[in-house]
Every structure is written in structure tokens, then in C-alpha cells.
Amino acid sequence: MEWRYALEGGGSLTVEEAGLRAVLTAERPEDGRGLYKAYLRGPSGRALLGTLAPEGGRLRVRRTLTLDDLKRQGAWPPVGGEAELAFSFGRDRAPAGWRWTDPAGLRFGEEALRAMAARQGRVLLRSEGEGFLLACPFSCAQPFPMPALFCLAEPVLLEGERYVRFHFDREGWPALPGRRGGAAVC
């Protein structure tokens, strides 16, 4: 049996069941942005297929994995796939409407928020209304950025890269996503 999926993040994934194994082929256009990892998604997890390598003008990875291994990872039966930018060659260029900043110099409602943001290193900043937005690079393989604000985080894709976005009011207090001005929640 064979399935084909569009990869979240660009490209395609072909899954071929061959007895007790699955032959998985992920590919995407070569865009020069960096190194991508491909994943098979299942009903309760995902399995790393590997890093896509240049092949014939495209990026591609092909793996044969046992169905038992995929089931243990929650990735069988398949429900889709992902291509995730794992390393950017040009992370100096900010997405449109954003700029890179050191959050240590921003105004926050309390020192603990400033210190938590400063530990992130560079983050993306954008003014919004009377407040501002911060976007921190995100990867499932890394600790969650600003964990005390987990419930207020908004996952976003900016130019194909994963970030978690946080909203702050004009005084630097965290605000609910989508809330324009008004009362903060902390």
C-alpha cells in the first residue's frame, strides 16, 4: 500500500508499506535557506526520517523503518509529514515586518520577565498597537522558550520557520494573543 502527503513546511512525502517495513521518501525544493529535517507524523507522535540532502536539484531523504519502530514512536499509521528548517544559513535576515533584537534592552512589566526574555538571546520584535510582539525560534527538540508564558504562546510560521509568538502590552506585561491594548493577564 502507498500513501502520498504534502509535507507541512513544503515538499512531499511518499510512504510505501512493504511487509513489516515502511519505505519513506521525503523531498522538497532546494531553496538555499538551510538544512531541513523530515518527519513522519502519526496519530500520537512523529518519527525523524533524517536530514534532507541535495539530489538532482531537490532535497531528499529516503529511509526504511520497521512498522514496530514507527508504532512505538506513535507515527504509525501515517497521517502526514513535516519538513522543518533545522539550521538556517541566513538567520540574519528577519521576516518581513520584524526585526532581530536583544530583549535585554526592552521594557518589561517586571525584572523576571526581562531576565526570562534575555535568556533567549536574539528574538524577533514587532510593534503592534500600543504594545509589541516577540517571536522566539521554536523546535520540538529544544527547550520551550519563555516557559512561564507557555499558556500565552502562539505558534506561528514566519517565512517557513517555526516560532512561538508572545504579545505584550505597552508596559511590557504579557497579554492574551489577539488582544489589542487593554488589561494584561499577569
Find the mean pLDDT for residues 120-130: 89
Q: What is the mean pLDDT of residues 33-53?
A: 93
Q: How far does Cα 175 stand from its chain's mean position? A: 22
pTM of the model: 0.53
Instruction: Say which CATH class 2-88 falls into.
Output: mainly beta
pLDDT for position 124: 93
- CATH 2.60.40: which residues of the chain? 2-88
Tell me, what's the pLDDT at 87? Answer: 78
Q: What is the pLDDT of residue 180?
A: 46
Q: What is the reported pLDDT for 88? A: 73
Residue 68: its H or E element: helix 67-72
pLDDT (tens digit, 9 = 90+) per residue, 16-29? 999 999 999 999 98
Burial class (CB in 10 A: 0-12, 13-18, 19+), 89: exposed
